[in-house]
A and B are shown apart, each in its own frame.
Chain A
């Protein structure tokens, strides 16, 4: 999200500055100011939610403030400020083996709620949108123990049907629950829901999602105009915090224009694009820059990433529909994000990326904290290498806990992988050349 780009701004190697980044900083700055005002001056009511497929549209419709503990945790990690909070949580009884996002956030929550980027307010509503991740349930269960905000578990049935689609009963169940969330928000704010306003917000979300999908399909171009992992994360914060607002829409209009210009000019994030890869798994936030450089050095660009679809999967045709506001929010939560899809649907998503985005390889970044992503990635590797014959690299670290990042080890593995990939490319070329002779 915003800070990583700010940190990479001074190097020619792995970054570029554009309007998009400046605008991102500006609007996210405004968002965090609003969050801080709620905390420090009691200005506005905070709703805690989770990133994966969330109903932020409802929260905006009540002019409440969406606060995402995941974003707070990742910002702490990026600022290399997470470890003391993680350790504080471990002193309280959290395990070395628990998701470190939760630990950092719990440490923060119980430790004054002050961060370098914002002061985090106490929640009026702890809205646990249980979209895929089981840890979510415990995370918010714990926060509810530590304060007196009201908790509501918004239960989203997992995509377990072989069709990969929700059943009519799944949708009805989620819509009923959304109606209950509306009733809670009405009580908390003392205001009735303005349905026209909600529809306008949902329409904005629809347009925003469409722009985002267009942006992400631009990386099908060779060279790719931006890195669909490292640069996409810059666009994810506005997507979650500001989806359904004019600010959010404007951001994505600007970003699309800028990326289209890059396509026109044939420019990309690196001086030369030598490898195109798809990457699976969240980034190692505390070492984002280092991690990026390890790929940049090989001229390797991520043309697609599963992580950039945690909050929503728009590139395969989903669009919020203002005429069916609650149903389309429900569909987004159920079906159109990577976290609520089963593991084999993720294989399929990656397979499409490799094909349709013309990638040479798959990189799996296995993070210890997030078993939603990582548990079973060995099987995923097996599938891609053995069944599909796609060069696949699996590396391990963490998304939050700096103690699990071993630079030397990761570097060796990445170097060895791209070396052999280069070799493979060369031999292919020679063979191809030989064949035409």
Chain B
């Protein structure tokens, strides 16, 4: 039986070294399959799958990748993931991909899409403009048409049409995967002593690097293992973590946050891979269902600007609903959306009297002492308050 422990010993190291090698290895074993890279945050992966291809999360280069070429293309004040992604491309490490898609999450990521197009003419490079008008009744038509455009690109890439039923089946499959991930997160929120954040992170992250058909059984066995755990809660403060929805912090950093004395009840790591609060409908027009899911059934995030409700309200609700005592804002260095959100979060958290700590990270970061000290001090101040 697959245990969480065995999963970690199998995957942890590759995830720390070069996460994408897991997908590249998979491709070696399935030479006939096409793979499409998905830049964060969210991508309708169901569409890629319905086309008979495998969606791959291109979520940075991990914390061992040396940046030697990309920093002459993107300036020092641009976040790491933009540079590491380009570096991966320039050093041939993305050659196993047939396509890659970028999204309207921020200006650097958007320009990166163009830079990819120019530098890798053989790669299919596409771009989704996700709508930022969440109130207009016409937005759904727009987004469905955007998905249709993308569907046509995927059809051109594989040379075969995507039938509605194919897409419905893929949606159902991803619904199952997302349901299991929600369960994983529910355990973290309710019994954090039974599942560490690093464990749940690895379980989630490997799903971005293999087909859902392989990920789902792993998740199921892991969940069975976790459900049997009966750990004693430690004397730790409970927090929710926010701000890491795109570039990912090193595993070691996540680990040291917990080791410093926190239970992280909820976070926004790899947010796009568990984007929906509930299942996407599998009857009716599947493109419209996906569009509807984006507009009405998705989580809040730093890259979705929904005027229907203040963004900070969601964070406050999350703190309240999980029963956390504090918020940890962990933002990628130079990540404009996360840094802007922090100003709103800070204001709201202070108003609500919820303590918080703000930390910045880079995916390629070696020294965690400073972060560790800061979090330890914070935890102490809360425990002995």
Q: Hey, which bits of chain A sit against chain B, CB under 8 A? A: 89, 92-95, 97-99, 102, 106, 130, 133-135, 137-138, 141-142, 144-145, 151-155, 157-158, 160-161, 167, 169-170, 172-173, 176-177, 180, 342-344, 347, 366, 368, 371-372, 374-379, 382-383, 396
Contacts and interface: CB of A to CB of B under 8 A. Distances in A.
Contact of B114 (A93, A95, A342): A342
Most buried by A among B106, B117, B310: B106
B347 A93 contact: yes
A153 B111 contact: no
Given A98-B339, A134-B107, A177-B138, A376 B114 contact: yes
B110 A158 contact: yes
A16 to B, nearest CB: 35
A169 B105 contact: no
A153 B340 contact: no
Interface in B54-87: 71-75, 77-78, 82
A94 B339 CA distance: 7
A344 B142 CA distance: 24
Contacts of A130: 132
Nearest to A150: B307
B141 A153 contact: no
A377 B107 contact: no
Contacts of B347: 92-93, 145
Contacts of B158: none
B344 A379 contact: no
B136 A371 contact: no
Nearest to A373: B107
B379 to A, nearest CB: 21
Given A92-B347, A134-B104, A177 B311 contact: no
Contacts of B117: 344
B277 interface: no
Nearest to B108: A375
Given A134-B106, A378-B75, A157 B142 contact: yes
Contact of A173 (B108, B142, B305): B142
Interface of B: 71-75, 77-78, 82, 104-108, 110-115, 117-119, 126-129, 131-136, 138-139, 141-142, 145-146, 149, 303, 305, 307, 310-312, 333-334, 336-337, 339-344, 346-347, 358
Given A169-B145, A371-B108, A374-B75, A137 B118 contact: no
Given A138-B305, A152-B307, A92 B343 contact: yes
A26 to B, nearest CB: 36
Contacts of B82: 375
Contact of A141 (B73, B110, B305, B333): B305
B136 A180 contact: yes
B147 to A, nearest CB: 11
Give the most central of A106, A137, A152, A366: most B CB within 10 Å.
Answer: A137
Nearest to B138: A176
Contact of B73 (A89, A167, A376): A376
Contacts of A160: 113, 126-129
A138 B74 contact: no
Given A177-B136, A376-B73, A371 B311 contact: no
Given A95-B339, A135-B340, A375-B82, A158 B307 contact: no
23 contacts: A89-B343, A97-B77, A98-B339, A98-B340, A98-B343, A134-B110, A137-B305, A142-B343, A144-B307, A145-B347, A154-B133, A155-B131, A155-B132, A157-B146, A158-B129, A161-B149, A343-B110, A344-B118, A374-B75, A374-B77, A375-B74, A376-B112, A378-B75
Question: Which among A89, A372, A374, A379 has the highest number of chain B CB atoms within 10 Å?
Answer: A379
B114 A343 contact: yes
A372 B131 contact: no
Nearest to B119: A379
A181 B135 CA distance: 12
